[in-house]
Amino acid sequence: MTTLLPWSIRDRTLDWGQKTYVMGILNVTPDSFSDGGQFNTLEAAIAQARYLVKSGADLLDVGGQSTRPQAIEISVEEELDRVIPVIQAVRQEMHIPISIDTTRSQVAKAAIAAGADLINDISGATYDPEMLNTTAELQVPIILMHIRGTPQTMQQLTNYQDLIGEILAFLSQRIEAAVQAGIPRNQIAIDSGIGFAKTYDQNLEILRRLSEFHALNCPILVGTSRKSFIGHILNQPNPKDRVWGTAASCCAAIAAQAHILRVHDVREMVDVCRVADAIWKP
């Protein structure tokens, strides 16, 4: 494995490989699969941000557009109205690094101006042709995820000849496009997109073969939190009852030397990371 250069964000250094970083999910949406409607007022969102930081989150990921299967796409204006006041309020109060979970360059630009520090794009910067150029201009890191289709269509697009090979090829091509746009390679992280255009068996295969993604020489983010494949294993229809199933998947990711875990249940997963890191990152 190549040594990855650290990311310096505000007063933090993300030194890849030293520990597993926990990204706390702050969905300011009425319709996300797990916590839709819980934090879509400013007061509730700020209270949750405080709780996530107190629980040990290393980063906060603020999103205003649900990406669950069949999610309805909202207007740019509505997405801005949801996320910008939250980012401004969190930034006034806390130093924690904030990522904006968006596929739109206009939202990314406004979020960075409001105090966010990096961009998390579930489309691998394919939905908006301006996303990579905007990221380069803003001089911020970006996380590129693998997906096929859109949240409305992705679960019909799960037919792969070579699952891992095709995901690697997509991410490699997106990394090259980002570099061509002027984003330094050491400011790019990747996400294999567990749950996005993937079946139950494919999600498990990605976790089993996660170490193969180190070939791309980028920090690896893994997002399994409360997802339906865990519910399938546990026969647990309520996403909030999948905490310990999520913990097991996080252990698998840490054993494969993932760098960031994007999770809802920060307090519990921080404990998981501390123990798993003691075992696998001595």
Active site residues: 227, 262
Q: Where do we find the tokens 């040594």?
A: 3
Closest C-alpha to 122, from 97, 140, 104: 104
CA distance 33 to 66: 8
Tell me if 4 sits within 8 A of 186, measured CB to CB.
yes
Residue by residue, DSSP assigns 207-238 as: HHTGGGGGGG-S-EEE--TT-HHHHHHHT--S
Tell me if 18 sits within 8 A of 259, measured CB to CB.
no
CA distance 26 to 39: 8
Closest C-alpha to 264, from 218, 230, 214, 213: 230
CA distance 225 to 67: 14
Triad 187, 112, 144: Cα angle to 5°: 40
270 by DSSP, 3-state: which? helix
CA distance 99 to 27: 12
Tell me if 147 sits within 8 A of 121, measured CB to CB.
no
